[in-house]
Chains A and B, each alone.
Chain A
Amino acid sequence: MRPTEFAYHRAETIEHALALLAEHGEDGRPISGGQSLVPMMNLRLARPAHLVDVNHLDMARIEEDADTIRIGALVRHETYLTHPLIARHLPAMLEAVHWIGHPTIRRNGSIGGSLCHADPTAELAAMAVLHDARIVLASTGGRREVAAVDFLKGAYVTDVQPGELLVEVIFPKPTGPHVGTFDEVGERLGDFAIGSFGVRLEHDGTRVRRLATVCGGARMVPIRMTELEAGAAGQPLSALDPVAFGQKVTAMVSPSGDFRASAEYRRNLIGELASRTLQRARDQAMGMK
């Protein structure tokens, strides 16, 4: 199928884009990589009357300041794979990005588009939740920041309002030594995951200072296992038991079944992935690799 008619606007600056989005309100839609929006338009699931092309705006940089890494909305997925700031501060992200689609998708898709599309198992949405990222939204009325967990409201539903543009995503830097892991299972290489799990472990060489987790596929949005995180804080690294951890995750999640996997399969899969990611994180933290 092919899209319905629309008017095309190429925005030259952020202010220009915001003016266009304000003018067209509900009928306007930004386009960045087009890797999710154009399929929806071709299938006529999305029918914007005005498309605002934001690819030429100055929001394609990764920058750091003392406490944060700021990722511009237009940063393409493949960028993380070779970026020193990501390897250093957000290692789980490095692992997660390998799982996004295929090389051509990773070259063209952007973080702004991925978060605003909000697929339930999108890897970058999981990374935003895992790292307590804040989403920066701009409109002609000014800017606001939303925590990733509040931004992602449901499957394909976010807090973006008509007239708003996602401009950057702010990731707090971990403090002190840390490791990060991510794993998932899908039907084919590059497909969206059936289940996924990510771990970030801040430690002091012998003890857990802080454990953060993210689980994809259990609900319509990525979720944190906050109870298990709290239980791990302060524990010796050697006391982290990946098998028991995985069993607890399996017991705690209640995913639904669909044509790709039954609820039962998904629950066990997520527990197994939790166990594996925690094990690798623990071993890396203990210098065992």
Chain B
Amino acid sequence: MKNKIELTVNGKGHALAVEPRRLLADVLREDCGLHGVHIGCAHGACGCCTVHVDGAPRLSCLTFAVQCDGKTIETVESLGGTDATHPLQQAFRKHHGLQCGYCTPGFLMALVPFVDAKVREGTMPPEAEIRDAMSGNICRCTGYQGIVEAVQDTIGQGLRSQGTGQ
């Protein structure tokens, strides 16, 4: 049995018929062709599959696509395209925040709203807060330090450009 659903993914409407048991992660990859949605563990432990549902991060492996009927979804493809031009993506490159890259889309989707919120608040968070913000994502290459630096750099840039950096 298939259910009919409508999703808006990265600004584009999709009318789909899906089995209820299909995970949002699989539907985004297979039916929408968005292979930036990576699946690591498929039980919520690694964070690779993080996407935004109605603007907030959510694990697409712990979400059934059928639950998202009518919702708006963003994947990593919405950030900086294939050239990875988003400031956080650029900072990941500069600070060696990735090596194999498998976990990167999940980190970016978890951290972009965090970075935006801190820039809006006008504060540079302590390192412990940054590590808490990324604690749901596992990276086996970098040891996390480069990712922390990328986040600090991006928040710093944001604060300077709006003139709120201390």
Contacts and interface: CB of A to CB of B under 8 A. Distances in A.
A101 interface: yes
Contacts of A8: 3, 20, 64, 66-67
Contacts of A188: 135
A7 B20 contact: yes
A79 interface: no
A6 interface: yes
A8 B1 CA distance: 10
Interface string A53-69: 10100000000000000
Given A3-B21, A8-B20, A35 B62 contact: yes
Interface stretch (A16-24, A38-46, A147-155, A233-241): A38-46
B152 interface: no
Contacts of A53: 67
Nearest to B128: A189
Nearest to B113: A103
Interface string A93-106: 00000000111110
Contact of A5 (B19, B23, B56): B19
> What interface size band does chain B fall in?
20 to 34
> What interface size band does chain A fall in?
20 to 34
A105 B44 contact: yes
B3 A39 contact: no
A38 B63 contact: yes
A260 interface: no
A161 B1 CA distance: 28
Contacts of B59: 35, 104, 108
B57 A42 contact: no
A134 to B, nearest CB: 29
A4 interface: yes
Interface in B132-166: 132-133, 135-137
A4 B64 CA distance: 12
A190 interface: yes
A46 B4 CA distance: 25
Nearest to B136: A102
Given A1-B42, A8-B20, A104 B50 contact: yes
8 contacts: A34-B63, A51-B20, A102-B135, A103-B114, A104-B57, A104-B110, A107-B58, A108-B58
Kindly list the 6 A-B residue pairs having the minimum CB-CB distance in the complex, ordered from nearest.
A102-B136, A8-B20, A39-B43, A38-B62, A3-B21, A189-B135
